Structure 1
């Protein structure tokens, strides 16, 4: 069985898209549960982000942030 596809750049890109999508959904859920309000622009920013590492950073900040501004602040 040829498994080269699973090691390819295309396969990694697909996995990154899945990671980003999952992290975006988790971020929106966490912010909602914590009662942190988001603007439509904030939601669009999260939905449009394809960088799993950036979404991970936002998700970490969302755990303790008291506002959306704290989540999105530059590191």
Structure 2
């Protein structure tokens, strides 16, 4: 059965901080999955608008810089 984790902050986060937190979570869970556990997961931001735009732009940038570990 799929499991869900929800994180809620008690204040409004600016788009940059929101994106940084989401990307950090994605990287950590992804790293855990790569250590032989091999499970799929999704990170779904709430709402739309500026937060999603920022997160998607950051993911695009990370993908270009770190594709297959070649950005180091």
Give the TM-score of the pair, scaled to structure 2. Answer: 0.36
Give the TM-score of the pair, scaled to structure 1. Answer: 0.35
Larger radius of gyration: 1
